Structure 1
């Protein structure tokens, strides 16, 4: 199978900024959607079920987009696919501003989700292939850190811009990200360097021993992360903390995501992808169990902060790790299929606390994170200068 040969002609800073800003847009929109739906409920009389249907359409679009654009990136080039995902997002963001009823917004959000879902596997593959071997893992983890900046941007827009401009003006302003596609075209070279044709037969044949464990790891991390993150504010209120105080506690927990990314960015090149991911997943599981027993605000913040620190660090590692596991012809397709498995986990995970007690849910998430960590043991180490395991990634 092929190796990743880094391309010349672009600085590390330029590469991370060009890819990271696109990543920021993705995170910002995913998080901003929840605020926008709440705004539509208040101002246009939406029912809770209307919000749920629009969110589901968006999530299905994210799932399908990761598969479709991963395949297109392998067939026609990473940069072209990246530009296309941004354009799809921009056009649909503009269209979204014209509708305030649930049915047309379901259609628009599905199409918008195609672009957003396709962006993450494509840009992570692009950055991986354009990076020097000794910086590849660190670069992709730093790329993932832009997710946290996007969540902060979403909060700022929802708190200070949406109340002033209104819903439609905000979406039309976000549509201006189409201009960013020009920056991508001028600022990032094409990374694809092989004449191999993408083949699902080889992906499910010789490479299946890597694909299935990767799917398990991606599903597990997303299932638990979204199941935890989307319910914590409500759980804190349910435990008797005032609403504003609950948001403040959750904000402190979330801020710890940023050093979590940077710690993982440091370790992936020092001790390797596999041991970093496994250790971060195990500590995430332990933190979830600790959170389930925590009775004071201090302990909740400590265990919740630790969970955010290590779990998002593991997210950064798996994004860096996955493109390196597959050959040139199928790299983006394989990465796209893995992020699609994460979207499945993202859809299913939040239902668990709705069905069983939150404490029991945390034990479920912890168990799945341990399964995800165990699955990665079956994969080879890919860090430059570190080669362990029985499977040769080359």
Structure 2
């Protein structure tokens, strides 16, 4: 941490706040869902469709904003992205009916999909190679941090000011843009390869080129991120329902347990991200998946409530510990000219594949009941264990570029482009 320069610290803070507040806005719907349903005179399951719409449009945002970031820099497209999701969050609080609300959440999905890739690229390109592991782990934990902030505001706001006030509060991330405008510089690695991008024709040409040249790496990374998504969502999405339905946890116990588990996520992501700088990205992820699987029985075969809480802390520690490696790993694997597009697009497409995990677990739990109740604990353990095996397989068969220097890589890419241009001119 002491090795970072001032601009590197400020850049990372901006990226972390962008992702944290983006997650906060996303989870606002999850917490406010029953109140929204009551206001619109609909079933909660109908309102939940807005969450699905948000998830489905995240890859679209990753592609659009990723291409913009590769063409025009990381900073200003990210600022536009943050303004967009802040404005949509504010407007969601004024939605007069469900149709308007779901349309706004669709736009939010595009903005949310763009934020992760741009923020991760801006942060990772600003950091020295030896610091990427630690700060990758911290950056990824903006997601559970956003969850905890949403839980706190839910407790403090919704019963007194109503669900709409939560969305109005969610518009405050727009202030991050002011901070970025005056204190965060553009990525130096991107500026190094500006000449490379100036030879491209248009947005559609960029999409075609990146898929043509790197299709195998893209497919492998998407499948890896799908495994990550099923592991993360498989242990998280149905967990509160499992606590309430099967274990008879009270609302207070559910809140405390989920917050403790997410604290485990934050500590695990930071710790494992840091250790990946020494052990390597692949070894750290594989070790985390094995250890997470070892503690799954504490959730699947619950003995008592304290052990379930402890088990959730440890499982989340290692699941999100592995996820803490992702921002650094995907940016290191990314071709330098497409670092705005590649990490975010593969991440969001993998997440899209895994978006059905809660529904699959719920259905399997009903098919294999225990004591007359859906056996959610068993299905959470089975799906999560299978996903962990997938992550281990794809992580072990993929590459690793832990020590790559983004500035040097950009210079090589620039030289290669100049040689291509000179050859064309000669011909």
TM-aligned CA distance change 1:26 to 1:161, over 3 Å: same
What RMSD over aligned residues (CA atoms) do the two structures have, in Å? 2.4
Q: Does 1:362 align with 2:381?
A: yes
Per-residue CA distance 1:166-210 (angstroms, 9 max, x = gap)? 333432333233232121122211111202237445533443343
Decide which of 215, 224, 231 is 1:224's aligned counterpart: 231
TM-aligned CA distance change 1:246 to 1:148, over 3 Å: closer
Aligned ranges for residues 1-394 of structure 1 at < 5 Å?
10-191=6-187, 192-193=190-191, 194=193, 195-197=195-197, 199-243=206-250, 244-357=252-365, 358=376, 359-384=378-403
Query: Which one has a bigger Cα radius of gyration?
Result: 2
User: Does the residue aligned with 2:15 lie in a helix, a strand or coil?
Assistant: helix
Residues 157 and 165, structure 2, Cα contact 8 Å, conserved in 1: no
In 2, Cα distance between equivalents of 1:240 and 1:141:
32
User: Does the residue aligned with 1:295 lie in a helix, a strand or coil?
Assistant: coil
Deviation for aligned residue 1:375: 0.6
TM-aligned CA distance change 1:156 to 1:355, over 3 Å: same
Which runs of structure 1 show a deviation greater than 6 angstroms over 4 or more consecutive aligned residues? none
In 2, Cα distance between equivalents of 1:299 and 1:170:
33
In 1, Cα distance between equivalents of 2:169 and 2:382:
42
2:372 alignment counterpart: none
TM-aligned CA distance change 1:172 to 1:290, over 3 Å: closer
Residues 238 and 362, structure 2, Cα contact 8 Å, conserved in 1: no
In 2, Cα distance between equivalents of 1:88 and 1:251:
29
Per-residue CA distance 1:343-393 (angstroms, 9 max, x = gap)? 31442111112211221342122112211221112222222289xxxxxx9
User: Does the residue aligned with 1:269 lie in a helix, a strand or coil?
Assistant: helix
246-255 or 106-115, which deviates more = 246-255
Per-residue CA distance 1:102-156 (angstroms, 9 max, x = gap)? 1111100101121112101110011111111111222222112222321121011
187-196 or 295-304, which deviates more = 295-304
Structure 2 residues not aligned, in runs of 5+: 201-205, 366-375, 406-411, 414-427
Q: TM-score, normalising length from structure 2?
A: 0.83
Q: TM-score, normalising length from structure 1?
A: 0.89
User: Does the residue aligned with 1:256 lie in a helix, a strand or coil?
Assistant: helix
Residues 79 and 189, structure 1, Cα contact 8 Å, conserved in 2: yes
In 1, Cα distance between equivalents of 2:74 and 2:174:
17
- Aligned residues, how many? 381
In 2, Cα distance between equivalents of 1:376 and 1:286:
19
TM-aligned CA distance change 1:130 to 1:350, over 3 Å: same
